[in-house]
Amino acid sequence: MGWAVAFLALLTYCTGIDGQSTWTQPPSSSVSPGGTVTISCSTAQSSYTIGWHQQKAGKGPRFVHCNGCSNRGEGISNRFTATQSGTTGSLTITSAEVEDEAVYYCGSWSSAGMWVFGGGTQLTVTGQPPVSPSVQVFAPSEQEIKGEKKATLACLLSGFHPPGFTLKWKVDGTETTSGVETTKATKQGDKYLASSYLTRSDSNYGDHTYVCEVTHNGKTFTKALTGSGSC
C-alpha cells in the first residue's frame, strides 16, 4: 500500500506545479461500451506537457499517455491518446471497454521531481443514461444541540448515476469548508448515494440559512434549510 500513501501525498500537492498552477478537470464522465469519450483538463501554465494516469478501484495509479510521448504506459492500448493545445490537455479513449472504468488524473512532471495532479475524473462505462440525484438536507437533532453543544447538518444524495459529483455548503450565501465532511459515492444497485455533513457550534447554528449545492453531470441542484430547522 506504499503507492497509496505516495499518491495521496501527490494529490495534496495539486495546487499546481511549483505551487503556482491549478489543474481543472471535470469530476465525472461516462461513455457507452464501444463508444468514444474525451476527458479534458486545463492548467494555468502553458509550458508544461500534460500527461494522464489511470487508477482503477483498489489498485495503484499507472501512467497512460502524454502529449508528444511515443510510448504509452505498460498494458495501455493505443485506444488511449493524449493531446494538448496550449493550456488544455485531452485524453481520448476509443472503442471503450468496461475495463476502462477508472479515475483519470491529468498532471505534469514538476521541477521538484514528482508528478503533480488534478482532482481526477471518474469515468463510468455503461449504457445507462445519466440520472440526477435526489438531494435532501436534514437539520441537527435537539438532543445533539442541547447535549453536545454542537449542530450537525446532513445532506443526502441518492439515486444518481454516474458517481462523480461536487458538493458545496453555503451559509447565508457564502461557501464554507470548515466543519465539512463529504463521503465518496457508494453504489446501491445500479445507482449511487453519498452524504455530506456540516458541523457547527450550537451558538453558531441558529438564525442562518444553509444551502447544500450539488453539481452532477453538468447540472446544479440546491436544497436549503434555515437555522430553525424548517426546509
**In this predicted structure, what is the pLDDT of residue 177?**
95
Where do the domains of the chain lie? 23-125, 134-227
> Which has more pLDDT, 202 or 85?
85
- Cα of 59 vs its chain's centroid, Å: 18
pLDDT in tens, 102-119: 999 999 877 777 778 888
The cell numbers describing 12, all together, are: 495534496
pLDDT in tens, 24-75: 898 888 888 899 999 999 987 766 789 999 998 888 999 999 988 989 999 9
Cα dihedral sign for 19, 23, 24, 25? negative
Phi-psi region of 200 (alpha: psi -120 to 50; beta: other; left: phi over 0): beta
Q: Where are the beta strands (DSSP E) in the chain?
A: 23-24, 28-31, 37-43, 51-55, 62-66, 80-85, 88-93, 102-109, 115-117, 121-125, 134-138, 150-160, 166-171, 174-176, 180-182, 186-188, 191-201, 209-216, 219-226
Pick the CATH number of 134-227 from 3.40.630.30, 3.40.50.970, 3.50.50.60, 2.60.40.10: 2.60.40.10
- Bridge partners of 153, per DSSP, are 198
Q: Do the domains spanning 23-125 and 134-227 agree at the CATH topology level?
A: yes
Q: Which fold has domain 23-125?
A: Immunoglobulin-like (2.60.40)
Measure the CA–CA gap between 100 and 39, rounded to whole angstroms: 13
Residue pair 117/11 in contact (Cβ under 8 Å)? The answer is: yes
- 128 closest CA partner among 37, 28, 31: 31
Q: How many other C-beta atoms can be found within 10 angstroms of the C-beta atom of residue 147? A: 10
3-state secondary structure of 203: helix
pLDDT in tens, 146-200: 888 899 999 999 999 888 899 999 999 999 999 999 998 988 888 899 999 999 9
